[in-house]
Amino acid sequence: MSKQKKDWSVLPRPYTFEEAKGTFTGRFTMEHMPDWALKPMRNRQYFAPQYRTDREWYDNTKFVGEYPSSNGKACLSTNMSYPLGETLSEPYKINQVDERDTIN
Give the pLDDT score at 81.
97
The better pLDDT of the pair 97, 95 is held by 95
Output the average pLDDT for the chain.
85
Give the pLDDT band (50/70/90) at residue 66. Answer: confident
pLDDT digit string, tens, across residues 34-53: 999 999 999 999 999 999 99
Mean pLDDT of the 31-36 span: 96
Report if residue 100 sits inside a domain. no
Given this model, what pLDDT does residue 72 score?
Answer: 63
- Give the residue-averaged pLDDT of 81-100: 85
Residues 6+ apart with CB under 8 A from 53: 29, 30, 31
Question: Within a domain: residue 51?
Answer: yes
Angular region, 65: left φ>0, alpha ψ -120 to 50, beta rest: left
Domain enclosing residue 27, as ranges: 14-83
* In a domain? residue 55: yes
Rounded CA separation 42/68 (Å): 34
Q: Is 13's pLDDT higher than 50?
A: yes
User: Do the domain assignments include residue 90?
Assistant: no
Do the Cβ atoms of 56 and 31 come closer than 8 Å? no
Choose the weakest-confidence range: 33-47, 63-77, 81-95. Answer: 63-77
Q: Give the gyration radius of the chain's Cα atoms.
A: 17
Q: How many domains does the chain fold into?
A: 1
60 is a domain residue: yes
Q: Which residue has the higher pLDDT, 1 or 3?
A: 3
Kindly state whether residue 73 falls inside one of the protein's structural domains: yes
101 found inside a domain: no
CA-to-CA separations, 71 to 4, 68, 97, in angstroms, rounded: 20, 8, 38
The 10 Å Cβ neighbour count of residue 53 is 15
Residue 103: inside a domain:
no
